[in-house]
Amino acid sequence: MLVPYVRPYGVRRNVSVFDPFREIDEMEKAFFGETPASRAAFSTDIKENGDNYILEADLPGVKKEDINLELTDNVLTITAERHSEYEEKDKKGNYVRCERSYGSYQRSFDTTGIDTEHIDAEFTDGVLKLTLPKVQEVKPETKKLEIR
């Protein structure tokens, strides 16, 4: 009986897809799980909406009181902390696998061109929504002068 030979590795004929760090990244993910860089940030969307920008940040599992917004020198910093009961439950041996991360998360955004005095923030269903009004351009007033 003829049995097809199966290679224990894939064959890549295209040299341009070679990434020497891919194997290291895959090994690190297999050993440590997600990379720390992917856990240190949270996803955000920024949309332009006429006279303002809308920033929406996904912060699932974070309570409103654990979110901090700071504005320093035209830099808006969003810091969030997610708490977990993982340590207490782990001592009892209830977890087989725990993938939900906990810790502190932070992102910073440049607010040049934003009217920082009128930023509005709301937090609903794990989504932080910031309305960032644009600075209104002051158009120079043109006056017609009378000649005497």
- Return the DSSP state at 148: -
For residue 115, pLDDT over 70 is answered with yes
Whole-angstrom Cα distance, residue 20 to residue 30?
Answer: 17
Whole-angstrom Cα distance, residue 55 to residue 129?
Answer: 6
Q: What is the pLDDT of residues 46-72, one digit of tens each?
A: 999 999 999 999 998 889 999 999 999
pLDDT of residue 46: 93
Q: How confident is the model at residue 138 (pLDDT cuts 50, 70, 90)?
A: confident
Mean pLDDT score across all residues of the chain: 78
Pairing mode, strands 127-133 and 120-124: antiparallel
Q: What is the pLDDT of residues 33-49, one digit of tens each?
A: 554 444 457 889 999 99
Q: For residue 147, count other CB atoms closer than 10 A to its CB.
A: 3
Q: How confident is the model at residue 2 (pLDDT cuts 50, 70, 90)?
A: very low
pLDDT of residue 140: 82
Mean pLDDT, residues 74-102: 70
Percent of the chain clearing pLDDT 70 (strictly above)? 64
